[in-house]
Amino acid sequence: MNAGLVVRNIGELWTTHHLPPVRGAAMNDVTVLKDAFIAVNNGLIVGFGSGSGDAFVGPVTEIRDACRMVLTPGLVDGHTHLVHAGSREHEFALKLQGVPYLEILKRGGGILSTVAATRAASFDELYDQARKSLLRMLAFGVTTVEAKSGYGLEPKSERKILKVIEKLNETQAVTLIPTAMGAHAIPAEYAFDREGYVATVLADLETIRLDGLAESVDVFCEAGVFTVSETKRILMRAKELGFAIRVHADEIVSTGGAGLAAELGCASADHLMAINDKDILALAGSDTVANLLPGTSFYLGHDYAPARRLIAANIAVGIASDYNPGSCPSENFQFTLQLAANQMKMTPSEVLTAATINPGYHLGKSDRIGSIAIGKDADFVLFDVPNFDYVLYHFGVNLVVDVYKKGRRVIADGRLVKE
């Protein structure tokens, strides 16, 4: 078969080959092809393997020499708070003085200060700020991003955020998977009427569903934020309405959020820095992906999630950036991968699995993305490194040279290719 594009002379091609969710020991079992090629036609992968791929070359095939670079599937960042206004560097000083994250929130800062800025921002301001961040993510090798609302905390502002995500999806190369997170905090005007706010969130879910503005629903289940029983009500209703569901669980205090995620069949249970043994067992018996966010542990100076124990318990683990202005202000997903290896002791193969196929799975897209396989979207990344281990070793800088999205080279030599 003649392909439109053959990229050859790839030093190493790394991909998972297991069906997701990829759990436990299988996470450490990936395909590594040396001296490889990949063939693309009409945006899809039509061939790959060791060798030069001559069988795919016809008279009009574009041939690219990868110059021994390392190729992986496009990275999938399965947890971000991409769309928000402003920044919170003023809280950094408080953090350094030792004021806890939840204490800043209690004082009306934290999430609530970003809510005030986001409510005040226009659609275009939000779009421009988010687009800048999205392009940074793309340059770091991310081709699919989950993006949550949650800095509006009132139907009209939540809608504004979801509409920004929709427009980014229509105009930018990266695929965005929208999540509604009206239950990110209790807004100040409902401080003495939690029940009233939960009712607002529940009612708004129906509108969001009707308008097709989100694929999943998330709740911040945490001491001082939403209780396990409030979380359960919101997620059960979301499930009834046909949303995928996910939960910010056991981030700071173990409240049983991860156990609830397993019980309700959540696509992902996220954070898990404070998960207890009982909830590890519960997750082990489910298809819920344990979605770990080591950038947040790094920035907040908290413990890292127990990745080794979760993998030993045969759980499917994902990693994501949690990009947001308060607990992880960085779009550098390669740094997330490096922290997963360096701090959570995940192997290079486990890191790759956790940053590609497992997030593809919990986002409901693993039939199209997350691995190099015939028929999948030709989303892939070329790293200027001698081997994949090097990506986890040489930290804090961008090692990506080229990014292909659906067969189109969207980042070339580290720069965005203009249409």
Inter-residue contact 25 to 313 (CB < 8 Å): no
* Minimum gap (Å) between residue 80 Cβ and Fe ion: 8
Q: Which of 80, 296, 330, 334 binds ligand NIG (CB under 6 A)?
A: 296
* Minimum gap (Å) between residue 91 Cβ and ligand NIG: 9
Residue 114 near ligand NIG by CB under 6 A: yes
Residue 326 near ligand NIG by CB under 6 A: yes
Residue 295 near ligand NIG by CB under 6 A: no
Residues 6+ apart with CB under 8 A from 323: 77, 80, 81, 82, 133, 137, 295, 329, 330, 331
Residue 152 near ligand NIG by CB under 6 A: no
User: What is the C-alpha R_g of the chain?
Assistant: 21
Distances in Å between the Cα of 40 and the Cα atoms of 27, 66, 185 are: 26, 14, 45
Select the span of 235-243, 324-332, 372-380, 396-404 touching ligand NIG (CB under 6 A). 324-332
* Minimum gap (Å) between residue 52 Cβ and ligand NIG: 45
Residues 6+ apart with CB under 8 A from 386: 11, 68, 70
* Minimum gap (Å) between residue 325 Cβ and ligand NIG: 6
Q: Which of 12, 251, 322, 402 binds Fe ion (CB under 5 A)?
A: 322
Which burial class, exposed, middle or buried, applies to 415 when counting CB atoms under 10 A from its CB (0-12, 13-18, 19+)?
A: exposed
| DSSP conformation class of 317 | E
Which burial class, exposed, middle or buried, applies to 9 when counting CB atoms under 10 A from its CB (0-12, 13-18, 19+)?
A: middle
Q: How many residues can be counted in the chain?
A: 419
Residues 6+ apart with CB under 8 A from 193: none
Q: Which of 74, 259, 325, 407 binds ligand NIG (CB under 6 A)?
A: 325
Q: Which is nearer to Fe ion, 322 or 350 (CB)?
A: 322
* Minimum gap (Å) between residue 95 Cβ and Fe ion: 17
* Minimum gap (Å) between residue 296 Cβ and Fe ion: 7
Q: Which of 8, 159, 163, 248 binds ligand NIG (CB under 6 A)?
A: 248
Residue 406 near ligand NIG by CB under 6 A: no
Inter-residue contact 216 to 239 (CB < 8 Å): no
| Backbone φ, ψ for residue 268 (5° rounding) | -145, 150
Q: Which is nearer to ligand NIG, 72 or 321 (CB)?
A: 321
212: helix, coil or strand? coil
Residue 220 near ligand NIG by CB under 6 A: yes
Element (H, E) at 179: strand 175-183
Answer with the entry of Fe ion, ligand NIG, none that 326 interacts with (C-beta below 5 to 8 A by kind). ligand NIG
Residue 110 near ligand NIG by CB under 6 A: yes
Answer with the entry of ligand NIG, Fe ion, none that 231 interacts with (C-beta below 5 to 8 A by kind). none
Q: Which is nearer to ligand NIG, 200 or 324 (CB)?
A: 324
Residue 321 near ligand NIG by CB under 6 A: no
Residue 250 near Fe ion by CB under 5 A: no
216: nearest Cα among 186, 184, 238, 249? 238
Inter-residue contact 267 to 261 (CB < 8 Å): no
Answer with the entry of Fe ion, ligand NIG, none that 131 interacts with (C-beta below 5 to 8 A by kind). none
Question: Which residues would be at the binding site for ligand NIG (CB under 6 A)?
Answer: 81, 110-111, 114, 220, 248, 251, 296, 322, 324-327
